[in-house]
């Protein structure tokens, strides 16, 4: 029997109009937008459906917007009887995974990620930190160059996305130096990303400390569905462990490739990317071509995925 993993996107997947058609057709999806409006006292429908790219790009808007769109779509999958055996999410997407596994209530998660976005932005002054995507080198080659570049400031691996794609983060000068070293080493690409902070680097530790205070006042439960954590690529079920991993996640590398491999070792043979974009689907295909990957981001892909799963 097939085992399904629902995986949820992180920052960068957002675009104006996300989840609009789905929310207009399914009241269960629209209900999630209403809950976000109420909890945040802001018009989440307007932001996601009609908002401009600049507004959506602000980290404290991006994070609750992607979470809301992802969970709105997940509600429709649930309604159709699709229940994942395991969940995971890239960075911010881990909060969607925890909502899907009934560890954190949606209303609490959307409030937390709005603050998370703000804290992450405030941890490093704009311009002092950045990130870059490195294509075509393995982990050891990247790590060697980071060691040399670290004399220019903090520079660390932020995301291990899939074979041949690693994202680095840190002080702008150190990241730029690392990029030139990595190009010399033979990187196919070493390009700075249009982000406003060095996410998932040790420079974000202050954001994690501030986040801990917020996580203290919301209810976190043991997860009902296994959630694979970004920090260690292992299943986190215990509520105390989940909380600590969310704090650590802000300033730790995202072990996405290892997370996907772990889910496959657990017997997962179908991955459904739930939410805006198709980046995670592309990563999964690069990690293991033998698994089946679907995505659910608009009406066509959502209903196509439901039909495909029912036929299996």
Active site amino acids? 91, 200
Q: Which residues contact 20 (CB under 8 A, 6 or more apart)?
A: 48, 49
Q: In degrees, to the nearest 5, what angle opens at C-alpha 197 toward C-alphas 192 and 198? A: 70
Q: What phi, psi does 235 have (nearest 5°)?
A: -70, 130
d(CA 8, CA 230): 12
Residue 169: beta bridge partners?
131, 156
Taking the CA atoms of the chain, what radius of gyration do you get in angstroms? 19
CA distances from 123 to 86, 96, 242 (A): 32, 23, 22
For the beta carbon of residue 137, count every other beta carbon within 10 angstroms.
22
Is residue 211 packed enough to be buried (19+ CB in 10 Å), middle (13-18) or exposed (0-12)? buried
> What is the chain's length?
312
Dihedral sign for Cα atoms in the order 264, 268, 269, 270: negative
């Amino acid at each position: 029997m097939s085992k399904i993993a629902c995986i949820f996107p992180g920052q960068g997947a957002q675009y104006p109009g996300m989840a609009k058609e789905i929310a207009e057709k399914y009241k269960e999806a629209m209900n999630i937008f209403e809950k976000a409006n109420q909890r945040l006292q802001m018009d989440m429908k307007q932001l996601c459906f009609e908002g401009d790219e600049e507004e959506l790009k602000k980290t404290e808007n991006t994070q609750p917007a992607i979470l809301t769109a992802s969970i709105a779509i997940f509600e429709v999958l649930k309604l159709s009887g699709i229940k994942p055996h395991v969940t995971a999410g890239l960075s911010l997407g881990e909060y969607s995974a925890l909502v899907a596994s009934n560890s954190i209530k949606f209303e609490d998660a959307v409030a937390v990620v709005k603050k998370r976005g703000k804290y992450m932005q405030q941890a490093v002054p704009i311009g002092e930190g950045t990130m870059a995507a490195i294509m075509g080198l393995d982990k050891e080659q990247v790590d060697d160059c980071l060691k040399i570049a670290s004399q220019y400031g903090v520079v660390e691996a932020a995301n291990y996305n899939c074979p041949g794609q690693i994202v680095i983060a840190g002080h702008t000068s150190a990241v730029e130096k690392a990029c030139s070293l990595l190009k010399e080493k033979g990187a196919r690409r070493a390009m700075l990303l249009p982000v406003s902070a060095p996410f998932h680097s040790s420079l974000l530790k202050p954001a994690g400390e501030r986040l801990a205070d917020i996580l203290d006042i919301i209810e976190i439960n043991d997860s009902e569905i296994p959630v694979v954590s970004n920090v260690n690529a292992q299943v986190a079920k215990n509520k105390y462990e989940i909380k600590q991993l969310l704090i650590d996640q802000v300033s730790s590398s995202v072990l996405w490739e290892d997370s996907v491999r772990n889910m496959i070792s657990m017997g997962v043979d179908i991955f459904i990317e739930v939410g805006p974009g198709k980046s995670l689907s592309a990563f999964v295909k690069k990690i293991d071509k033998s698994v089946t990957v679907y995505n659910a981001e608009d009406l066509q892909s959502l209903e196509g995925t439901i039909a495909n799963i029912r036929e299996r």
